[in-house]
């Protein structure tokens, strides 16, 4: 139990509580349940993307193309919606997931089969995906009035007092908690990133595991692409520009080790919520929204310093008194 309290997640929960307390002290309206639910809903896309990114980072990779994938998939489904307005939303969702999956697989195949460093692959695909949006649209926007009503309404529809967008985020947290802790693939992500050499001996194909991580990240980014453009009812080249860094920030703040092998879905959720609360609180407490970039940058640095301190190994355990086991 003491172990749980000392964990990163517990520390972060305390930090979030303190953050909320400080905001509530000056602006009590911020912490009323309805507003907190609104903040959660607003943070849902970040939560979704952070889960995907966490899985990728677990395998010692990084996916900088998530925001570009989101923008491209969002544009593709918007264009489909214009072309076939009558297409039921369920198909739009499936197309979004499928298309995002393909983009993720493209990253994954380059990492797996050609062993190109993930940062290079995703820096490259990041610009390529955004460029493709431009080629598709010649830089034009798809606006609210061009989208069908059902296309726009689904994420905002209330279900038991919460918009569907929030429910999707909650479902993803539950689903991926189970996947990561209770399935062979989930544990393989940890093994492949924690000790790739040993993973090979244990019969885990490290490259293939990384491929699946990118695929999952792509699928989530695709789904979020639809949710994003329908929620804001607009699609253009620079949708979610630079958002990949916020996603990485959420992971790092959530205790995901960039060296791989360490991280939890719950941590990613908390990291995203931390940033989401700050983003929503800034206008309330009268701090310019322009300061958000610096704050998330500062948060990344503080988080990575704290992570490193927590994960610093004291050395090999040789002396009897140093060993934990009884």
- Phi-psi category of residue 88: left, alpha or beta, with phi > 0 → left and psi -120 to 50 → alpha: beta
Q: What's the full length of the chain, in residues? A: 326
Rounded to whole angstroms, the Cα distance separating 245 from 124 reads 15
* 317 lies in the site for another protein, by CB under 8 A: yes
Q: 264-303: which residues touch another protein (CB under 8 A)?
A: 288, 290-298, 300-301
Among positions 202, 283, 284, 285, the unique one binding another protein when judged by CB under 8 A: 202
Q: Which is nearer to another protein, 42 or 238 (CB)?
A: 238
Q: In the structure encoding, which two tokens stand for residue 193, read together?
A: 């990133």
* 194 lies in the site for another protein, by CB under 8 A: yes
* 18 lies in the site for another protein, by CB under 8 A: no
The distance of closest approach from Cβ of residue 169 to another protein in the complex, given in angstroms and rounded to an integer, is 22
Among positions 4, 28, 90, 197, the unique one binding another protein when judged by CB under 8 A: 197
Which of 65, 47, 66 is closest to 276 using CA atoms?
47
The distance of closest approach from Cβ of residue 34 to another protein in the complex, given in angstroms and rounded to an integer, is 30
Give the number of residues in contact with another protein, rule: CB under 8 A: 78
The distance of closest approach from Cβ of residue 248 to another protein in the complex, given in angstroms and rounded to an integer, is 6
Binding part of the chain for another protein, among 81-89, 145-153, 165-173, 318-326 by CB under 8 A, reads 318-326
The distance of closest approach from Cβ of residue 289 to another protein in the complex, given in angstroms and rounded to an integer, is 9
Rounded to whole angstroms, the Cα distance separating 65 from 47 reads 16
Among positions 200, 232, 233, 234, the unique one binding another protein when judged by CB under 8 A: 200
Rounded to whole angstroms, the Cα distance separating 86 from 92 reads 11
The distance of closest approach from Cβ of residue 153 to another protein in the complex, given in angstroms and rounded to an integer, is 32
* 318 lies in the site for another protein, by CB under 8 A: yes
Q: 212-241: which residues touch another protein (CB under 8 A)?
A: 237
Q: 47-76: which residues touch another protein (CB under 8 A)?
A: 62
Residue 74 host element (H or E):
helix 66-83
- What number of CA atoms fall less than 13 Å from residue 112's CA on the CB side? 20
In angstroms, the Cα distances linking 192 to 56, 126, 187, 265, 312 are 11, 25, 9, 17, 20
Q: 174-193: which residues touch another protein (CB under 8 A)?
A: 178, 181-184, 187-188, 190-191
Contact 210, 192 (CB under 8 A): yes
Q: 78-117: which residues touch another protein (CB under 8 A)?
A: 110, 114-117
The distance of closest approach from Cβ of residue 121 to another protein in the complex, given in angstroms and rounded to an integer, is 6
Q: What is the largest CA-CA distance in the chain?
A: 71
* 252 lies in the site for another protein, by CB under 8 A: yes
Question: b/e string for 101-111 if b means 16 or more Cβ within 10 A?
Answer: bebbbbbbbbb
């Amino acid at each position: 139990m003491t172990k749980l309290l000392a964990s990163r997640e517990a520390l972060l929960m305390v930090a979030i509580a303190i953050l909320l307390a400080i905001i509530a002290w000056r602006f009590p309206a911020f912490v009323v349940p309805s507003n907190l639910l609104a903040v959660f809903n607003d943070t849902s896309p970040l939560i979704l993307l952070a889960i995907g990114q966490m899985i990728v980072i677990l395998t010692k990779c990084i996916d900088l193309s998530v925001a570009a994938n989101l923008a491209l998939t969002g544009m593709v489904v918007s264009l489909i919606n214009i072309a076939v307005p009558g297409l039921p939303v369920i198909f739009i969702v499936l197309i979004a997931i499928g298309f995002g999956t393909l983009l993720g697989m493209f990253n994954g195949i380059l990492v797996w089969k050609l062993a190109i460093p993930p940062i290079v692959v995703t820096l490259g695909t990041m610009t390529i995906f955004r460029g493709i949006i431009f080629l598709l649209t010649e830089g034009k926007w798809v606006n609210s009035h061009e989208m069908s009503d059902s296309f726009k309404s689904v994420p905002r529809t209330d279900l038991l007092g919460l918009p569907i967008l929030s429910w999707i985020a909650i479902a993803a947290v539950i689903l991926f908690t189970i996947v990561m802790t209770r399935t062979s693939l989930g544990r393989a992500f940890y093994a492949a990133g924690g000790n790739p050499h040993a993973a090979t001996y244990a019969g885990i194909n490290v490259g293939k595991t990384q491929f699946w991580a990118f695929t999952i990240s792509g699928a989530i980014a695709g789904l979020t692409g639809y949710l994003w453009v329908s929620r804001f009812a607009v699609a253009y080249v620079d949708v979610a520009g630079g958002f990949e860094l916020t996603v990485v920030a959420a992971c790092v703040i959530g205790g995901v080790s960039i060296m791989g092998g360490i991280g939890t879905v719950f941590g990613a959720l908390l990291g995203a919520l931390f940033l989401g609360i700050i983003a929503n609180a800034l206008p309330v407490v009268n701090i310019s929204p322009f300061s958000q970039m610096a704050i998330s940058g500062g948060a990344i640095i503080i988080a990575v310093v704290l992570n490193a301190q927590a994960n610093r190994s004291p050395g090999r355990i040789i002396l009897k008194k140093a060993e934990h086991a009884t």
